[in-house]
Amino acid sequence: MWKEFKEFAMRGNVIDLAIGVVIGAAFGKIVSSLVENIITPLIGMITGGINLTNSLIFGIGEAEIKLGVFIQSIIDFIIIAFSIFMVLRLLTKLNRKKKEETAEEPSAPEVDVKEELLMEIRDLLKNKQS
């Protein structure tokens, strides 16, 4: 059982996935900070000092609906999705260029021994007729 788990864990896809999750979490924190500390205050300045996270709160008693926090989460998601799209697009272009550079020209099809002999006979017959 340990051997099977070790084989599973050492596959390239699992390791790549783990790395992707860790990098994605860190990237998410960066984008959340960007939205929270730069974009949201800029939106507040444009809209006359409105802070979405603090101003759009509705509630009855102790129950609160924090619409501003929800809008900020939507902005986070859009920026993260767009950023990931742009990174993947760039990587796809780089991989495509790399494949085009490394792609070799297709070589001539290999000739079977019988076909090669027939071609020699044909050439000899042509030379004999001339």
- Give residues with Cβ within 8 angstroms of 44, minimum separation 6: 50, 51, 52
With tokens 């027939």, the residue in question is: 118
Per-residue confidence (pLDDT) for residue 15, from 0 to 100: 72
Which domain covers residue 6, as residue numbers? Answer: 2-129
- The enclosing domain of 60 has a CATH number of 1.10.1200.120
Secondary structure, 3-state, the chain: CHHHHHHHHCCHHHHHHHHHHHHHHHHHHHHHHHHHHHHHHHHHHHCCCCCHHHHCEEEECCEEEEHHHHHHHHHHHHHHHHHHHHHHHHHHHHHHHHHHHHCCCCCCCCCCHHHHHHHHHHHHHHHHHC
Per-residue confidence (pLDDT) for residue 62, from 0 to 100: 85
Predicted TM-score of the model (pTM): 0.50
pLDDT by residue, tens only, the chain of 130 residues: 778 777 766 666 777 777 788 888 888 788 778 877 887 778 778 877 766 667 777 888 888 888 888 887 887 788 778 877 887 888 888 888 877 777 665 666 777 888 888 888 898 888 888 7
Per-residue confidence (pLDDT) for residue 107, from 0 to 100: 64
How many domains would you assign to the chain?
1
Per-residue confidence (pLDDT) for residue 108, from 0 to 100: 65
Per-residue confidence (pLDDT) for residue 12, from 0 to 100: 63
Question: Which amino acid makes up residue 42?
Answer: L
First to last CA, the chain: 77
Per-residue confidence (pLDDT) for residue 105, from 0 to 100: 59
Per-residue confidence (pLDDT) for residue 99, from 0 to 100: 78
With tokens 């079977």, the residue in question is: 112
Q: Residue 101 phi/psi, 5° resolution?
A: -70, -40
